[in-house]
Amino acid sequence: MRVLAWLLFAYQVSVLWYFAFLNFLYALFALFGLRMVARYARELSELALKDLLEREAYLPVSILVPTYNEEKTIAASVRSFLALHYPEFEVIVVADGPKDRTLEVLKETFRLVEVDWVYRRVLPSKPVRAIYRSLSHPNLLVVDKENGGKADALNAGLNLARYPLFCAVDADSLLDAQALLRASRLFLEDDRVLAVGGTIRPLNGAVVREGVVEALRLPRGFLEKMQVIEYARAFFLGRAGWSAMGALLIISGAFGLFRREAALRVGGYRTDTVGEDMELVVRLHRRAREEGRDYRILYTPDPICYTEVPADLATLRKQRNRWHRGLWEVLWAHRAMLFNPRYGRLGLVAMPYFFVFEALAPVVEVLGYLLLPVFWALGLLHPEFALLFLLLALGYGVLLSQLAVGMETLLLQRYPRLGDRLALLGLAVLEALGYRQLLALERFLATFQVWRKRGEWGEMRRKGLESPEAQGHEKP
């Protein structure tokens, strides 16, 4: 009994150290993130972007839009892409064997006609059934292909892309009109840059007209509001911190800009994982390190992509389950990088962090919650441990959320209404009281489902971008 008590005490101390070190890392990310966002808010101006255009310094961009069953959102999304402020770009929509009216909506909205298109099939993909061009928009191309998944659709789009940069975006997303200008300038300033990720913001609650976000307002639903806070924390603290350290492993699949030649060199997107966005970034890192090339993969907070986030609990759980399974799949595929000094800070810092503090975090957290009553029933619960565990598990989340929301509302001013800003700050406290634990449980389950559900996406429910329900407000 004495040995058991000692082991349980050692376990409690280990958990405390785990959360304490995690808090330290998050504080470090917050410092990097705050410095980066403050610098961009101070230095980047409309004049700088106009100067970029006037100098005619730009790289043409191919925008790849993989789509499945997106009949509610596809027209608004494509309109937003076509309305971007950029000198030269093309939009390639890849209809990945949709079962709804996605292709019909595209044909009707953009006056598509079938064409014979000669292209080089560099990457393998499911057969392409037809290629369409728009009579109203010469830079719009639509591909109809057999279903093969998102990564397969992106590879098909890469085969048809003509320009040196490509931008991978989700079909339920809208881009800020200047997003490409803000992201592509990093490729012009430094030819070592292989990829750039921007900031993803929830679209729910926004006022949208003709595919353009005119104003940001908080959505009505509780789950949607919580995701506003989550996204702010993930990008302004996490991505900014890793980018500053030169070890950014994730560029969101909803919006990322890449050098096409670099992506083709490593074989495009892998089709056997649901974490194809992270996997491509890790593979770009790995190949460049193994070849000894000098390179950069960056996050910048100013290019904004708006995406529709899940509004119901079932869809949210499926999404987070898929994200966590994708993380495990990527870590397993590149396990040779773990603790490997050959890959520098990637192998010694970034990959171990994502394994220990991201992939295993829900296991540690959920087991900690479950074992608290067990320790108490056995009379082995140390009050100091219980108090510190709860403070570390809940308190740090509140603090980091407050920092991220503060950067979102005060520095970037994405939510101009004072009421929305105050609501976000208040909701940052509520997030730690149930919402976070629910998602931790879903990620805990995903950890043990990763091999059984390998490559499984699941259906995502959408409201649609142009309905009053999706916007959250009637048009005035």
Q: Looking at residue 26, which CATH number applies to its domain? A: 3.90.550.10
Please, are residues 67 and 74 in contact by the beta-carbon 8 Å criterion? yes
Q: How far apart are CA 345 and CA 218, in angstroms?
A: 38
The model scores a pTM over 0.85:
yes
Inside any domain, residue 427: no
Q: What digits encode the pLDDT tens for the residues 25-39?
A: 777 777 777 777 677
Task: Give me the torsion for CA of 171, 172, 176, 179, rounded to 10°.
Answer: -40
- Residue 466 has a pLDDT of 47
- Residue 231 has a pLDDT of 86
Please, are residues 258 and 168 in contact by the beta-carbon 8 Å criterion? yes
Q: How far apart are CA 268 and CA 236, in angstroms?
A: 28
Residue with tokens 């307002």: 217
Of 135, 160, 130, 129, give the one whose Cα is nearest residue 65. 160
Inside any domain, residue 259: yes
Task: Give me the percent of the chain exceeding a pLDDT of 90.
Answer: 45
What residues contact residue 103 under an 8 Å CB cut-off, 6+ apart? 95, 142, 144
Please, are residues 208 and 471 in contact by the beta-carbon 8 Å criterion? yes
Please, are residues 409 and 415 in contact by the beta-carbon 8 Å criterion? yes
Q: 165-169 and 255-259 as β-strands: parallel, antiparallel, unpaired?
A: antiparallel
- Residue 133 has a pLDDT of 96
Q: How far apart are CA 248 and CA 423, in angstroms?
A: 31
Of 58, 309, 305, 82, give the one whose Cα is nearest residue 165. 58
Inside any domain, residue 414: no
**Which stretches in the chain have pLDDT values below 70?**
1, 4-5, 37, 40-56, 211, 389, 392-397, 402, 404-418, 421, 453-476
Inside any domain, residue 363: no
Inside any domain, residue 269: yes
Inside any domain, residue 219: yes
Inside any domain, residue 204: yes
Q: Give how many domains the chain has, as a whole number.
A: 1
Q: Could you count the other beta carbons within 10 Å of the beta carbon of residue 87?
A: 14
Residue 304, CB half-sphere, CA atoms under 13 Å: how many?
17
411 by Cβ neighbours in 10 Å (0-12 / 13-18 / 19+) ranks as middle
Inside any domain, residue 417: no
How far from chain centre, in Å, is Cα 434? 23
Please, are residues 106 and 171 in contact by the beta-carbon 8 Å criterion? no
Q: How far apart are CA 187 and CA 295, in angstroms?
A: 11
